[in-house]
A and B are shown apart, each in its own frame.
Chain A
């Protein structure tokens, strides 16, 4: 158990600094005959109480980025750059130190609750485990805290659930147990990778409301990795659009949805199915598929699929342009007028 981890609780984190500051992060995954450049030159910040969403297609590196921030990369991964959590550098830490950070300072929720739960261990012991390991809490105190946390995450009759096993609960209830385990030490940062993708919309809405409440209440910063733009629009403060391991565009949620500049963001938003989409109309698609991240290529990685691509796009990576915290890397940015075409939903 780390000394800093226990001391930190006494003083609230100063709101003048981000909880998480990632600078120039690269993650390479070494395979037997090649190297996957899963994350390249990513920089981002998450402030207390803020929810930042990482979006992109499968294989864009968003889950690898989430794992890197949670200190859960496989041993084949090589990390360069900096991940600073509450001022403490995570890149270069050993497994033991990372484990302390994970339990106490970073909570993690994955899509499938069964990957995070131990099927042979009772709910109460699992939820209370981090408190015992990180804070040295007694068994009884850990169980009491577990029941409180289960109640907070909306598990009905929490005291009765302490003695049950994960398989006795529904998918939505299991995910609440995972969330309770992730939050029991009141972490500074929650990394949630597709936390509600496997759940029904009714349960999804309840769990996302829970995250919103906890980030307001605890000042917890949340990194929400998802492919669901509906979830992003409703719950994220800022959006980080990833393509081929790199930042394509980042800005406030409103900016990204209403005035996207990167051609990829525009195409991604254009292919979302909405209730307003005329029935049986031809749907917008993005031709082709994301590039193979083992081959290093010059130019904009989206160029082969981009309708606006020109010669320069394939020869050199575009520099980032920035305007009031809105940043994009595209040689042919969408005009701010032509992108304001997303229909307002009618209720």
Chain B
């Protein structure tokens, strides 16, 4: 399983290059990855809250990534780094300002109405707070059934049967299907959210902090369930989370995002054991550790600078313990530190892999 991400600071990459970066090419003529982002950016016009900060807010600044079918890619970073915007771009809740979102190699923007509609049902979303995402006035069976009705082409009886199967699969008892979301616990609501996401047999689920609001015991249940569903239906996940342990446990490839850019990406074992970027190191150090007496450390201070006026050169330099003059002048390029492991840092924590 091979996923990848790159960031190209100097101009856009061609689609072909991005495809290679996505690691699709183990067998030469491999099919394009399930999902691909090619130099995708998203700008918001400065207004309201941000109006004092200057230019447009660059939430996502030219990122490239690929999610192969059936694999899990994780995105970590602080709030405001653009990770949730990225998820929304993938499911089509936002339109990119530049670049392409591609599904099985086809740019979504170039699709006709019918094809785009079909694509929409192939990518579904799971939210952090399923309560906010579920219609409080609908019973659970209606909630799960809704995407099927919207897509059409399936009889009422078949829809009903499918809803019962989905409910069984996620562990919701048939007797509960006529209840309302408020009657459920957080974990059960997340199960309903998952059943609804699964209704149209999607190839990709974008999961934005899917277990952050849940108790530890329930969190394990939902992660076990997501793993089972992946094995059974060959689903790809793009998981967005600030929780490093969840990302480490669940994903095959991790991307660390800072102020709209990818700063490091690689396989989870490698990336969390021996990161190259100082920001990744700081995130690992700040993560709470369930070992008594070992408090998390703060190696970086302060908060994310404004995305409307990002620092020059390396965006992380204002909080970086290793920053030097060159960091303010030159934007660091992505370099390779191991198989599938890349980072953009002038003074990395480990040796660059010889070419």
A-side residues, CB < 8 A to B, are 57-59, 156, 167-168, 170-173, 200-206, 208-209, 212, 227-235, 253-254, 257-258, 267-269, 271-275, 277, 279-280, 282-286, 289, 342, 344-345
Q: A57-B215, A233-B291, A268-B217 known; A205 and B227 CB under 8 Å?
A: no
Q: A271-B216, A273-B246 known; A280 and B227 CB under 8 Å?
A: yes
B-side residues, CB < 8 A to A, are 49, 78-80, 185-187, 215-221, 223-224, 227, 242, 244-246, 248-250, 268-269, 272, 282-283, 285-298, 300-304
State whether A271 touches B298 (Cβ < 8 A).
no
The residue on B at minimum CB distance from A345 is: B291
In the bound assembly, the distance between CA atoms of A284 and B289 in angstroms comes to 18
- Pick the 8 closest A-B CB pairs, nearest first: A230-B288, A234-B295, A283-B220, A286-B217, A200-B78, A205-B286, A205-B296, A201-B286
Distance (whole angstroms) from the CB of B176 to the closest CB of chain A: 13
Q: A271-B216, A285-B218 are in contact. List 20 more A-B contacts (CB 8 A).
A: A58-B186, A168-B49, A201-B242, A202-B282, A202-B298, A204-B296, A205-B288, A205-B298, A206-B301, A208-B295, A227-B215, A227-B216, A230-B290, A234-B293, A271-B217, A274-B290, A275-B287, A283-B220, A283-B221, A345-B289
Residue of B79, B216, B295, B304 near A272 (CB, 8 A) is: B216
Q: A200-B79, A271-B217, A280-B250 known; A172 and B286 CB under 8 Å?
A: no
The residue on A at minimum CB distance from B267 is: A279
**Residues of A contacting B245 in the complex (Cβ-Cβ under 8 angstroms):** 273-275, 277
Residue of A204, A253, A286 near B293 (CB, 8 A) is: A253
In the bound assembly, the distance between CA atoms of A232 and B227 in angstroms comes to 28
State whether A272 touches B215 (Cβ < 8 A).
no
In the bound assembly, the distance between CA atoms of A315 and B180 in angstroms comes to 34
Q: A205-B297, A273-B246 known; A282 and B303 CB under 8 Å?
A: no
Q: A172-B303, A274-B245, A283-B220 known; A201 and B283 CB under 8 Å?
A: yes
In the bound assembly, the distance between CA atoms of A193 and B296 in angstroms comes to 19
The 10 sampled A-B contact pairs (Cβ below 8 Å) are A167-B49, A201-B288, A229-B216, A229-B288, A233-B293, A254-B292, A257-B291, A275-B248, A279-B249, A342-B290
In the bound assembly, the distance between CA atoms of A148 and B147 in angstroms comes to 55
Distance (whole angstroms) from the CB of A253 to the closest CB of chain B: 5
State whether A212 touches B295 (Cβ < 8 A).
yes
State whether A233 touches B283 (Cβ < 8 A).
no
Residue of A212, A227, A275, A284 near B220 (CB, 8 A) is: A284
**Residues of B contacting A344 in the complex (Cβ-Cβ under 8 angstroms):** 291
**Residues of B contacting A284 in the complex (Cβ-Cβ under 8 angstroms):** 220
**Residues of A contacting B216 in the complex (Cβ-Cβ under 8 angstroms):** 57, 227, 229, 268, 271-273
Distance (whole angstroms) from the CB of A305 to the closest CB of chain B: 9
The residue on B at minimum CB distance from A252 is: B292
State whether A231 touches B303 (Cβ < 8 A).
no
In the bound assembly, the distance between CA atoms of A203 and B216 in angstroms comes to 21
Q: A58-B186, A289-B187, A345-B289 known; A283 and B295 CB under 8 Å?
A: no
State whether B269 touches A283 (Cβ < 8 A).
no
**Residues of B contacting A268 in the complex (Cβ-Cβ under 8 angstroms):** 216-217
The residue on A at minimum CB distance from B219 is: A273
Distance (whole angstroms) from the CB of B50 to the closest CB of chain A: 11
In the bound assembly, the distance between CA atoms of A219 and B214 in angstroms comes to 33
State whether A202 touches B292 (Cβ < 8 A).
no
Residue of A170, A230, A282 near B296 (CB, 8 A) is: A230
In the bound assembly, the distance between CA atoms of A227 and B249 in angstroms comes to 20
Residue of A209, A271, A286 near B295 (CB, 8 A) is: A209
